[in-house]
Structure 1
Amino acid sequence: MIVRRQRVLAGVAGAALLCGVALAPPAQITDAAFTDPEYGRATITAFRVPPATIIACTVANNGLGVFQNVRLVWTSVYPASGVRLTLTQGATTAVVPAANITTTGPAGGLYTHTAVLTQSLLASLISNLLGSTTTLTVTNLLAGTSWVSDGTSRQLSIALLGLNASCT
């Protein structure tokens, strides 16, 4: 008897559920439209690492006209850790060690960097020094990134046998 009563209750509940579904209103069809009359406007400018400015490139020759050293002076908004001096001769490029660059300042917002590159230092970095042209390039480096400025360059020309060196 109890089982029969449970079956009857289950049947009544099922019939009530079917009636409820049949009597429920159908789903309404809608068109979703998203419009917003507001807009934004901005100008975006990318940061560019400013280049260094070479203010002097002088060559010292001995009394016989033989090359002794080249002195390169440049200004930058970056301290010693934010500058690099490279030498390029043909397909060979070398970075001048930071120990060979002295820095003063800042004065007026600029640091002054000086590199005195002797004949022996240049020969250790660039193998064929005599009778060649070497490009001295300074660049600024933005700390904590891989961003580098455009290079500023001078040409060191040394004639055969180390005579009549010049920096242009």
Structure 2
Amino acid sequence: MRAETVVTDRRWRAGSTRRPHGRHRRLLVSIVGLAALLLAAQPAPAQTEAAWADVELGSGSFTAFRVPSPAITSCTFNPNVVGLLSSYTVVYTIPAGYTINYAYSSSAAFTSPTVISPTSTSGTTTVTSTFSLGLLGGLLGSNVYVGARLTLPSTSWSSPYRLVNGTSNALGTSGNCAIVP
């Protein structure tokens, strides 16, 4: 004889492939509950006040400062006996409060000039500078570009160089000094 099994749980029947999921549901409910407790234990972020609009308006303008270049008022060639110690004298007009710096180059491009310190006589706004050709420059003749620029003291701000072109013949008996535009 065969006994029949009466099933009171409708979810499972003998011979059925379905199995009760009560344990799984209890585990899932426990995990969700634990996650809710952990999230509730976190403090809420602090409130902040942020203003992203302001009713005040402002406007302004500015101009960049530019160091002025020295003005060249004259340039003269000074010959000497057989070219010994021939020189150029250049007179500059500069605004008060600036330092004047000099350099020379054999090229009008003046890309890598050699800085020099000539003999200068300074008036209030007039500077007279003498540039010697040296012994060989006076004897052999020369073609040199001399530049002057102004620097604002206690800064590295400088004006562009203003140039003169000095030429002399062999033996330095004659020459010319011209302001480069």
Structure 2 residue runs of 5 or longer lacking an equivalent are 1-39
1:54 aligns with 2:64: no
Three-state SS of the structure 1 residue aligned to 2:147 is strand
* Counterpart mapping for 1:60-99 below 5 A: 60-62=78-80, 68-78=86-96, 82-90=99-107, 93-97=113-117
1:123 aligns with 2:134: yes
Tell me the CA shift for residue 78 of structure 1: 3.7
Question: Number of residue pairs matched?
Answer: 133
C-alpha distance in 2 between matches for 1:84 and 1:165: 24
User: Which of the residues 166, 172, 178 maps onto 1:162?
Assistant: 172
Equivalent residue number for residue 63 of structure 2 = 45
TM-score normalised over the length of structure 1: 0.63
Tell me the CA shift for residue 42 of structure 1: 0.8
User: Which of the residues 128, 131, 135 maps onto 1:114?
Assistant: 128
Q: Which has the higher contact order (CA 8 A, sep 6+)?
A: 1
Three-state SS of the structure 2 residue aligned to 1:161 is helix
- Of 70-79 and 52-61, deviating more is 70-79
Q: Deviations over 1:142-162 (max 9, x none)?
A: 100111111111100122332
Q: Which has the higher helix share?
A: 1
Q: Which runs of 4+ in 1 moved over 6 A?
A: 63-67
Equivalent residue number for residue 143 of structure 1 = 153
Percent identity over the alignment is 27
Question: Contact (CA 8 Å) 2:82, 2:171: kept in 1 or not?
Answer: no
CA distance 1:84–1:46, change in 2 (3 Å)? same
Q: Which has the higher strand share?
A: 1
Larger Rg: 2
CA distance 1:160–1:63, change in 2 (3 Å)? closer
Alignment RMSD (CA, Å): 3.6
